[in-house]
Amino acid sequence: MPGYRALHSPMIWEINQFETDPALAREFEGAFAEARPLLLDVPGCCEARLLRSVERPGVYLVQVGWTKLADHTEGYPANPLSAQVRALIGPYVRRIEPGHFTEA
């Protein structure tokens, strides 16, 4: 019987490093908690999580799993939910370093 990899395409991970004002870190975390269900409602979005840096206050990794790259690069921007997500977390973001990854 073929394994999981033979039956499924690897997930595309959108991994963004976000920097926010450390004084507003808890508010950013709350905004992400509100935005997460919206992200998960976008077709092709399989996972969304927020990781806080233990060494650098106000620095986070946002990891969003997509079924395929086009779900993020084409489907997400065209979906009205994307504007709601940006409205929730955008005010807290100083800088973003974006990237897309897949399992090696």
Average pLDDT of span 22-38: 97
Q: Is residue 53 part of a domain?
A: yes
Report the predicted TM-score, pTM, of the whole model to 2 decimal places: 0.86
Task: Kindly list the distances between the CA atom of residue 96 and the CA atoms of 6, 24, 70, in Å, as whole numbers in the listed order.
Answer: 34, 16, 20
Mean pLDDT over the full length of the chain: 91
Q: Residue 62 is part of which domain span? A: 23-91
Query: Model confidence over 48-79: pLDDT tens digits?
Result: 999 999 999 999 999 999 999 999 999 999 99
CATH of the domain at 63: 3.30.70.100
Q: How many CA atoms lie within 13 A of 20 on its CB side?
A: 24
Helix (H, G, I), strand (E, B) or coil at 23: helix
CB atoms within 10 A of CB 71: 20
pLDDT over 90 at 97, yes or no: yes
Q: Containing H/E element for 93? A: none
Q: Is residue 48 part of a domain?
A: yes
